[in-house]
């Protein structure tokens, strides 16, 4: 296991992670630091715990939006494939019906 020291809002935190995940962990810390910087920029400096809570809420909001968008995209893709499948079913049904009419016609000619 690797140990990484990250800095968030000027404080150093030593965190353990799986080997090879150090860069990923540093990127996640950077994301949190960016949220904290944006909170500070709008005048939201009122304690470490509050800043971290607000950063967590911002990240949770972004995650919610990403999940919601993914669900919308998935629903749209499902609707498209159902529509495509319905079209394929209609075409197949037309072919079966045409073939049934040919067979019936052949039987009448006998």
What size, in residues, is the chain?
110
Reported in sequence order, the residue ranges of 1-110 that DSSP labels E, i.e. its strands, are: 2-8, 11-17
Q: pLDDT per residue over 7-24, tens digit each?
A: 999 999 999 999 999 999
CA–centroid distance for 59 within its chain: 14
pLDDT of residue 103: 78
State the sign of the Cα–Cα–Cα–Cα dihedral 36, 42, 48, 53.
negative
Domain boundaries, the chain: 2-109
Q: pLDDT per residue over 91-110, tens digit each?
A: 777 888 788 777 777 676 65
- pLDDT at residue 44 greater than cutoff 70: no
- Residue 27: pLDDT band (50, 70, 90) is very high
């Amino acid at each position: 296991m690797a140990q990484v020291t990250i800095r968030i809002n000027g404080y150093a935190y030593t965190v353990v992670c799986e080997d090879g995940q150090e860069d990923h962990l540093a990127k996640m810390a950077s994301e949190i630091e960016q949220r904290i910087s944006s909170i500070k920029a709008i005048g939201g400096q009122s304690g470490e715990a509050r800043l971290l809570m607000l950063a967590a809420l911002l990240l949770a909001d972004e995650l919610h939006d990403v999940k919601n968008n993914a669900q919308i995209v998935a629903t749209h893709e499902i609707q498209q494939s159902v529509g495509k499948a319905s079209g394929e079913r209609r075409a197949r049904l037309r072919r079966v019906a045409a073939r049934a009419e040919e067979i019936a016609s052949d039987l009448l000619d006998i």
